[in-house]
Amino acid sequence: MVVLQQCPASMAYVVSANMDMKVPDYKLEASISKIFASEAAWYVTDECIQVLGGMGYMQETGVERVLRDLRIFRIFEGTNDILRLFVALTGIEVRGFLRLCFKPFVFSFFCSSLFSLCSKVGIPTGLSLEGIVHPGLDNSAHLVREFFLKDLFLRARPCNEQFHLKRVADAAIDIYAMAVVISRASRSLSLGRPTAEHEKLLCQTWSHEAFERVRENLRAVKSSTWNQSFANMKLISNAVVQNQGILAAHPLGF
């Protein structure tokens, strides 16, 4: 729950910095932040109710109202489903390369002078974070760097395959979250903040888990097994729509 709180908080600082610096285009970062924050808040509140047990469901704790109020955030200001398509389709508009995560300004708010990269056509193969990210976070920074050295989103699927686009968007969201959390922790470590080691722990934990999810999502985009699974889902949904209900009969025959 604490790790999930750290990520959207870090995103909020970066998007706010973009606005303060009069950056003309930060809609991708804002979209990712909205998706991530609304879903993280829902998960954390649901977990809180689970921890409290039956009392979490009662009005006395106040959490049940928070859960009800949070539900709308995944719908308004752009439903998260549509925003995911926006993130994926905008990201692959230039030869399939995701341009959002490392614009020059993304890290600059936290760690002066990071990633002076061109956001139009790609990432140089010689990209290095040495001397930019705090040495204590080199391993986490390396995980982020790995994806960009492999022409990450050149493997994106055609635009009408929404199952695949969701995978692409989820990978982008995780990578962006890794970037902003690394940036925040790096700044805390460099300034010797009292909470720096704790932030480092949060960063390392998130980076490892996000890395595994990104790798799995990108693997699924090109996986024949997942392609077949997605094709099956289309057949199932079409059958249910045509039947106006579930097709499978009761297994006992009555």
Q: Give the residue numbers annotated as catalytic, written as ranges.
A: 77
Q: What is the dihedral of CA 217, 221, 224, 228, to 10 degrees?
A: 90
**For residue 33, how many C-alpha atoms fall within 13 Å in the half-sphere facing its CB?**
22
What tokens does 224 get? 């024949």
Show the beta-strand stretches assigned E in the chain.
none
Residues with Cβ within 8 Å of 158's Cβ and at least 6 positions away in sequence, in order, are 164
Q: Taking each helix axis from N to C terminus, what angle separates 162-191 and 224-243, rounded to the nearest 10 degrees?
A: 120
- Distance CA(23)–CA(119), nearest Å, equals 14
For residue 165, the number of C-alpha atoms closer than 13 Å in the C-beta half-sphere is: 19
